[in-house]
A and B are shown apart, each in its own frame.
Chain A
Amino acid sequence: MWRYLIPVGIFAILIAFFFAGLGRDKETLPSPLIGRPAPEFTLPRLEDPTELVSSKDFAGRKYLVNVWGPWCAACYDEHPALLEIARRKVLPIVGLTVPQGALADQQGKPLPLEDVLEEMQRGLRWISELGNPYDVTVFDQMWTTAIDFGVYGAPETFLIDEEGVVVHKHVGPIDLTVWERDFMPKINASRSAGG
């Protein structure tokens, strides 16, 4: 008689599996960068492309790299939270501005300068209209740095410590709950460990 309960048992196990899978985040991929040195970059400033900003400028400091673009709706959702985080002045925030796909043709030849400048203007307009949370904003026309960071969907936010190591990565919009829960403990931990 007990054997008739076997299908019921299998069914229960399946339900348990599916239920556990319901709440799991299958979109966020684990980043191989965590615990490894952050990629180095030297990129032009969005406000003044003649001026170059390098990751070395932040050596010895904790900083945040926020990957965003004026085409990105989720970045728009994230923006108020980012402004609030900037207002708290915990650490410098670098805005890594990317276009929606590299501004280049298939052979890797950059698009005409007007197209590039227009995309940069869109970014500048966003900042001037919505407020600027960034201490410095750089423009990654070719997605070179974004690919080095393993970016697959904006917004993405990286926390980099004093040693230049990526401590945390968040994919998708940050809100203050995420900030307090995931970022702040790591910021404080590396602070006390370093000093």
Chain B
Amino acid sequence: MRAFLYTLMLSLWLPAAWAIDPAPAFEDPALQARYERLARELRCLQCRSETIADSNASLAADLRRQLRELIAAGKTDGEIMQYMTDRYGDYVRYRPPLAPRTVLLWAAPALFVVAGITAAVVVILRKSRLPEDDPVDPGLGTS
């Protein structure tokens, strides 16, 4: 029972702490936090919908190793992202940058909401202008 509880505790604790790596990349918790944050910002180009923090692919492991070395070399976050996009393009960034090319992508959710609200308002206004006893539309008018 006790062994089972320990296993359970370990299995709950491990994935959250270290994700894919068998050991933390840095002993310094501040550097480790940066490492994990940046790993979640970078896309694995072999599996596309996963970040290199989540992916088991060999390329993800190589990019994590590269990321660790860049952090250890004292590079800033900006320099590291630049290093990656210089080689793999903007696609390596898990969150696409806000650029003229991607404005539509970022604006799309807001545009959809606005379009939906507009459509709803138009429909409601039109329906409310219908006479109470509409002979053409008995279903709606009589209720």
Binding site for B on A (CB under 8 A): 29-33, 100-102, 104, 106-108, 143, 147-150, 152-153
Contact = CB atoms under 8 A, between A and B. Distances in A.
B80 interface: no
Interface in B55-88: 58-59, 61-66, 68-69, 85-88
A104 B62 CA distance: 9
A125 B84 CA distance: 34
Interface string B95-138: 00000000000000000000000000000000000000000000
User: Chain B interface mostly helix, strand, loop or mixed?
Assistant: helix
Given A32-B87, A143-B62, 4 more contacts: A32-B86, A101-B62, A106-B68, A153-B45
A107 B25 CA distance: 7
Contacts of B45: 29, 152-153
Contact of A106 (B21, B46, B59, B91): B21
Given A32-B89, A150-B89, A101 B58 contact: yes
B3 interface: no
Given A100-B58, A101-B59, A106 B88 contact: no
B53 to A, nearest CB: 13
Interface residues of B, number: 22
Contacts, number: 53
A147 B66 contact: yes
B65 A104 contact: yes
A106 B61 contact: yes
14 contacts: A30-B89, A32-B86, A32-B88, A33-B87, A102-B58, A102-B65, A106-B68, A107-B25, A107-B68, A147-B62, A147-B66, A152-B45, A153-B45, A153-B46
A30 B89 CA distance: 7
B50 to A, nearest CB: 13
A108 B21 contact: no
A26 to B, nearest CB: 9
Contact of A32 (B58, B65, B85): B85
Contacts of B29: none
A97 to B, nearest CB: 15
B1 interface: no
Contacts of B91: 29
Contacts of B61: 101-102, 106
Given A29-B88, A29-B89, A106 B66 contact: no
